[in-house]
Amino acid sequence: MIIGSILGLLSGLHIFGLAIGALLGYFADELIYTKKILKLGTAFIEHPAAGMLDERWTRIIASAALSCGVAVASLQEKKIGLGEQKLIEDRILRELQIGGRETGLVRQLIERIFIADRIDSSKLAAIYKASSGEPERLFLLRLLLHIAAGGETERVSTEQNDIIKQVSVDLGIAANLYNNLRQDWITVDSEAYDIIGLSPQASDQEIHSVYRKLASQFHPDTGTDLDDSQREQANEAFLRIQDAYNRIITDRNALRANGDDGAG
């Protein structure tokens, strides 16, 4: 841009030449900058290595790559559609606060991430850790959870949680910090707790005790003096209680398997 300004000034067009030269120099700078980041960013995606990019672009591309990897983690053999890819791109751009000239550049890099054969999440996390402090690393985990859930009210799948949990280990984040973050993206099965009349904060012992009491009370074989209609209603209530109990136990076991101590 400086060279363009000087050449424009020397062209004999004075201020007009200076403006034209500066403008042409600006576009040349943009083109060179874009090509440089695309080249280095693509190489970084394919073979992550420290020192390829400055710290800011290292964090941006590593965040985007890990987010995309987590987003498709539970799809297995399925390919992500263009609509889903656009939503993921928009969410990454918004969460990373990317705007202006860098928006298109980051979108191009994300497209290259999606067609990459493999995302080396451990190496990306290690490089991110070296170029960031704990606040940035905790922000990255929030971003991964948000992307995986598709929104703050959705549930993070077991497959996605396993990947993000490993990323948190590679980032050097303590397990209790990760579990605290993850709580915001876990949907409690409130209906199941309502059916047995307890809150999600109830202990395992309380849940077992109440379940046994309700199961005994509503078991169709308990009331010998019930008519057919009453027996059918009791059976429906018993099945609902049993289903609610099984859902609660399944969720709590999944939480423990993923590193959370649960309520009990």
pLDDT in tens, 102-144: 888 888 888 888 877 677 888 888 888 888 888 888 888 888 8
Q: Do 76 and 165 have their domain in common? A: yes
Residue 235 lies in a domain: yes
Q: Do 178 and 195 have their domain in common? A: no
Lowest-pLDDT choice from 22-31, 110-119, 154-163, 232-241: 22-31
Residue span of the structural domain in which 18 resides: 1-46
pLDDT in tens, 48-60: 888 888 888 888 8
pLDDT in tens, 3-57: 444 444 445 445 555 455 555 555 565 667 778 888 888 888 888 888 888 888 8
Residue 177 lies in a domain: yes
What is the model's pLDDT at position 147?
77
Q: Do 111 and 3 have their domain in common? A: no
Averaged pLDDT of the chain: 76
Residue 223 has pLDDT above 60, yes or no: no
Please give the tally of structural domains in the chain: 3
**Burial class for 247, CB neighbours closer than 10 Å (0-12, 13-18, 19+):** middle
Per-residue burial over 165-183, b if 16 or more Cβ lie within 10 Å, else e, is bebbebbebeeeebbebbe
Residue 230 has pLDDT above 80, yes or no: no
Domain end, chosen from 136, 168, 185, is at 185
Residue 196 has pLDDT above 70, yes or no: yes
Q: Do 236 and 168 have their domain in common? A: no
Task: Taking residues 90-110, report their average pLDDT.
Answer: 84
What is the model's pLDDT at position 209?
92
Q: Do 155 and 74 have their domain in common? A: yes
What is the model's pLDDT at position 70?
76
Q: Do 100 and 140 have their domain in common? A: yes
Q: Do 58 and 88 have their domain in common? A: yes
Q: What does the alpha-carbon distance between residue 20 and residue 7 come to, in Å, rounded to a whole number?
A: 10
Residue 82 has pLDDT above 60, yes or no: yes
Q: Do 196 and 178 have their domain in common? A: no
Q: Do 228 and 150 have their domain in common? A: no
What is the model's pLDDT at position 102?
84
Task: Taking residues 194-217, report their average pLDDT.
Answer: 87
